[in-house]
């Protein structure tokens, strides 16, 4: 799909897993002889396509922090969708982008990466979501992981997904669950990419290769008489809002200690029996749910046991998380090897997901943390009801 915006900007809308798009990109560059070939990639996605061994150099310790675990899982999930679709249509994901850059290199044409960093995009999307959207999205993600099989991929509207990039495709799949992220994943990127293309056009003629799902939005912005867009605004990750979960993380240990002290000074001889019950229920509820998360991730038995022991303690210390501790044990017992990192780029199925040690480590970290969080939210009110009921 080709759109000529003006004499200096030609847009080529592509399906990222289409053989026809690869040829269309080559033909457009041959025909229009641009000074610059712009591609809808950021540096990270460019390296993911051109440097497929990048995972091999990832330190295992980088996978343990919960934010890294969630982000890496999301990126792996996005990539696996695109690879499955690419396999269905017999073309490597991103082939049209590679073709554009290869032709540009052959002809000595400058290449410009015009998409926003995928990490910023995902973080902005996550920060835009409210608690309810995050909960629903997490639940749907867990259902997909637990119940995913090859037959289910046939239910995807492959033709529809062919018309846009994988980030936009995933957004539409979860559009009803988290509608607020559409602004970040689609509309913001339309503006961002349009502005980057416009800036490049000041240096010469541009052929821009973009996902077909962005074509109309980008064209609309480029056709405006004045495109007043501040790129820095779109490159900032919004500060964390004052959230009830953050308040709880710091208030729980304070309230817990206050509860123990209150029992000591008000219940007399019965205090120690009640304090014992408080600790028993705290450990059982919090530890069990964190251990359940690690078990769902198919962690090593010792990792599951570590999650059980660590969660009640880490829940009283906002600076550390149960998933980090359980993940450390998992990494020691089942240390990912080079092959595991290499195989991340080949993940296409539920079976691949579960059998990869890197992904399993990420899942242990993420689900142990999630279980501990849920355990805390359940345990404290329950203990308070026992004490004051």
Q: Give CA–CA dist 287/305, Å, rounded.
A: 9
Q: Is the pTM of this model over 0.85?
A: no
CB atoms within 10 A of CB 8: 18
Looking at residue 186, what is its pLDDT?
A: 81
pLDDT digits (tens, 9 = 90+) for 307-321: 999 999 998 888 788
Looking at residue 305, what is its pLDDT?
A: 96
- Looking at the fold, whether 115 and 184 belong to one and the same domain comes out as yes
pLDDT digits (tens, 9 = 90+) for 141-155: 666 555 544 444 444
- Looking at the fold, whether 211 and 310 belong to one and the same domain comes out as no
- Looking at the fold, whether 174 and 257 belong to one and the same domain comes out as no
Looking at residue 300, what is its pLDDT?
A: 93
Number of domain units in the chain = 2
Mean pLDDT along residues 23-35: 91
In this structure, what is the dihedral angle of CA atoms 282, 284, 287, 293, given to the nearest 10 degrees?
Answer: -130
> Highest mean pLDDT range out of 325-329, 332-336, 358-362?
325-329
Q: Give CA–CA dist 234/359, Å, rounded.
A: 30
Residue 339: domain span: 244-388
- Looking at the fold, whether 130 and 195 belong to one and the same domain comes out as yes
- Looking at the fold, whether 221 and 315 belong to one and the same domain comes out as no
Last residue of one domain, picked from the residues 216, 235, 254: 235
- Looking at the fold, whether 213 and 343 belong to one and the same domain comes out as no
15: Cα within 13 Å, side-chain hemisphere: 15
> What b/e string do you get for 26-37 counting C-beta neighbours within 10 Å, with b at 16 or more?
bebbeebebebb
- Looking at the fold, whether 326 and 269 belong to one and the same domain comes out as yes
- Looking at the fold, whether 219 and 325 belong to one and the same domain comes out as no
Last residue of one domain, picked from the residues 211, 235, 259: 235
- Looking at the fold, whether 87 and 157 belong to one and the same domain comes out as yes
Task: Copy the structure tokens of residue 207.
Answer: 């052929």
- Looking at the fold, whether 323 and 187 belong to one and the same domain comes out as no
Residue 247: exposure state from Cβ atoms within 10 A (0-12, 13-18, ≥19)? exposed
Phi, psi of 321 (to 5 degrees): -125, 150
DSSP per-residue string spanning 132-145 = HHHHHHHHHHHHHH
Averaged pLDDT of the chain: 78
């Amino acid at each position: 799909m080709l759109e000529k915006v003006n004499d200096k900007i030609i847009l080529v809308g592509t399906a990222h897993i289409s053989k026809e798009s690869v040829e269309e990109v080559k033909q457009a560059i041959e025909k229009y002889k641009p000074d610059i070939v712009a591609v809808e990639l950021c540096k990270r996605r460019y390296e993911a396509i051109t440097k497929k061994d990048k995972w091999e150099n990832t330190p295992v310790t980088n996978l343990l922090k919960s934010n890294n675990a969630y982000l890496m899982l999301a990126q792996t999930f996005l990539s696996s969708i695109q690879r499955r679709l690419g396999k269905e249509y017999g073309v490597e994901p991103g082939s049209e982008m590679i073709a554009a850059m290869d032709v540009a290199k052959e002809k000595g044409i400058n290449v410009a990466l015009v998409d926003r960093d995928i990490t910023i995009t995902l973080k902005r999307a996550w920060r835009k979501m409210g608690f309810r959207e995050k909960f629903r999205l997490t639940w749907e993600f867990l259902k997909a992981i637990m119940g995913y099989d090859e037959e289910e991929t046939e239910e995807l509207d492959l033709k529809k997904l062919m018309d846009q990039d994988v980030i936009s495709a995933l957004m539409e799949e979860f559009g009803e669950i988290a509608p607020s992220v559409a602004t970040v994943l689609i509309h913001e990127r339309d503006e961002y990419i349009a502005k980057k293309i416009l800036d490049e056009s000041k240096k010469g003629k541009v052929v821009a290769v973009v996902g077909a799902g962005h074509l109309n939005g980008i064209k609309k912005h480029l056709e405006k008489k004045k495109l007043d867009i501040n790129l820095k605004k779109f490159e900032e990750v919004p500060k964390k809002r004052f959230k009830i979960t953050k308040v709880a993380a710091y208030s729980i240990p304070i309230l817990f200690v206050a509860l123990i002290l209150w029992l000591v000074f008000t219940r007399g001889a019965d205090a120690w029996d009640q304090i014992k019950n408080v600790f028993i229920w705290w450990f059982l509820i919090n530890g069990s749910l964190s251990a359940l998360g690690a078990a769902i991730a198919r962690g090593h038995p010792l990792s599951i046991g570590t999650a059980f022991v660590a969660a009640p303690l880490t829940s009283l210390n906002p600076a550390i998380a149960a998933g980090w501790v359980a993940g450390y044990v998992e990494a020691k017992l089942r240390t990912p090897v080079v092959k595991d990192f290499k195989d991340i780029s080949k993940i296409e199925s539920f079976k691949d997901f579960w059998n990869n040690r890197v992904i399993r480590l990420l899942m242990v970290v993420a689900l142990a943390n999630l279980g501990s969080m849920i355990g805390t939210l359940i345990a404290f009110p329950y203990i308070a009801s026992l004490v004051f009921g």
